[in-house]
Chains A and B, each alone.
Chain A
Amino acid sequence: MRDVAEIWSYLAQGPLLWLTLTLLAYALADLVAEALGRPPLANTVLISVVLLGLMLWATGTPYATYFEGAQFVHFLLGPATVSLAVPLYRQGARLRRAVLPVLAGVVTGSVVAMISALAIGRALGLDLATLASLAPKSTTAPVAIGIAEGLGGSPTLAAVLVILTGITGALIATPLLDALRLRDWRARGLAVGTAAHGIGTARAFQVHPTAGAFAGIGMGLNAILTALLAPVVLRLFL
């Protein structure tokens, strides 16, 4: 029998190992969430990330090595974003009846997300470069990175804050909206997609197809809106 360390070093070189482990971690997270009846706290992204983070830490594997395998999954984010056109098309009639509410929801959610984050951040003593990385946190990662850079923030910090915002939104949306007694799936989905981009949208799809479709609309429109508004809003906090 070959040495385990030898087999490990062979596997660690290729993408197979970490691609497989990414899918297995997600399958396990999905199984756990399903068994618990999909409560908001048993978020599949969060469980998978914790599992894989522990594996990388335990094996001393650098993220770059992990990403060589995981990049195939990561790449699908682009085609998935394009595919959001499908639920949008399916819900076309519903969307046409709700143009004004959609615009009101996205503009309100987008502005409240930026102004409240910056106000709290400044009150707690964050410096301007950090505030610039925080401002676009509710929008999808590529947009947020571009905006943060343009405003003098850090692209890495912006990406981290985007992901943390997405997970936060996915965790709190259901209990929060239940407490507010808002039962319209369109309103619920749109608000989550606007405030918590793709991770919120993924959660909305798990809850209800209408919520998922409207979350996709919220995410897409907020990407445009944040790009236009973030420089203006940040200037209020100079």
Chain B
Amino acid sequence: MIRALALILSCQLAGEVGARLLSLPVPGPVLGMALLWALMVLLPRVAEAVMPVGEGILRHLSLLFVPAGVGVVGHLDRLGPQALALGAAILISTALAIAAGALAFTLVARLTGSHDA
């Protein structure tokens, strides 16, 4: 478990360093995710060791957003007189984006015959 955790953190560290060295617009952890994925594909033994630990961290992914969410409560007044316009923009555009993204996936899946097994 310690080795798997060390590997996950090492990927994050490498991602942070890599993103800054190469001035990539991607956050370090996202680059770290790509790195860990490549390692798992190349080395099945690594994959076996990392899977239970990674799944353990992801089991309560929602919890990890709570501190940032609490921070938002204190900044809600920053929205000020624009709160209504911002709320409308967020609600409508998020609904449109979810619908459009899911429809585009479904349409292209049908055209290319990509069935879910």
Residues of chain A at the chain B interface (Cβ within 8 Å): 22-23, 25-26, 43-46, 48-49, 52-53, 56, 63, 66-67, 70-71, 73-74, 76-90, 92, 94, 97-98, 100-102, 104-110, 112-113, 116-118, 120-121, 124-126, 130, 134, 137-138, 140-143, 146-147, 156-157, 159-161, 163-169, 172-173, 176-177, 180, 182, 184-188, 190-192, 194-196, 198-199, 201-203, 205-206, 210, 212, 216, 218, 220, 223-224, 227-228
Chain B residues whose C-beta falls within 8 Å of the C-beta of A43 in the assembled complex? 62
Chain B residues whose C-beta falls within 8 Å of the C-beta of A137 in the assembled complex: 90, 93
A82 near B78 with CB under 8 A, answer: no
Contacts of A100 in B (CB 8 A): 108, 112, 114
Residues of B within 8 A of A (CB): 5, 8-9, 11-12, 15, 25-30, 32-37, 40-41, 47, 50-51, 53-55, 57-58, 60-76, 78-79, 82, 84-109, 112, 114-117
- B-side interface mostly: helix
Most A C-beta atoms less than 10 A away, residue of B26, B53, B63: B63
Q: B75 contacts which of A107, A156, A184 (Cβ < 8 Å)?
A: A156
Q: Tell me whether A218 and B101 are in contact (CB under 8 A).
A: yes
Given A89-B47, A109-B98, A125-B85, is A163 in contact with B69 using a C-beta cutoff of 8 Å? yes
Question: Knowing A25-B66, A104-B108, A182-B102 touch, does A130 contact B82 (C-beta < 8 A)?
Answer: yes
Residue of A nearest to B25 (CB): A227
Of A97, A121, A159, the residue contacting B85 (CB under 8 A) is A121
The distance from the CB of A65 to the nearest CB of chain B, in whole angstroms, is 12
Residues of B within 8 A of A121 (CB): 85-86, 89
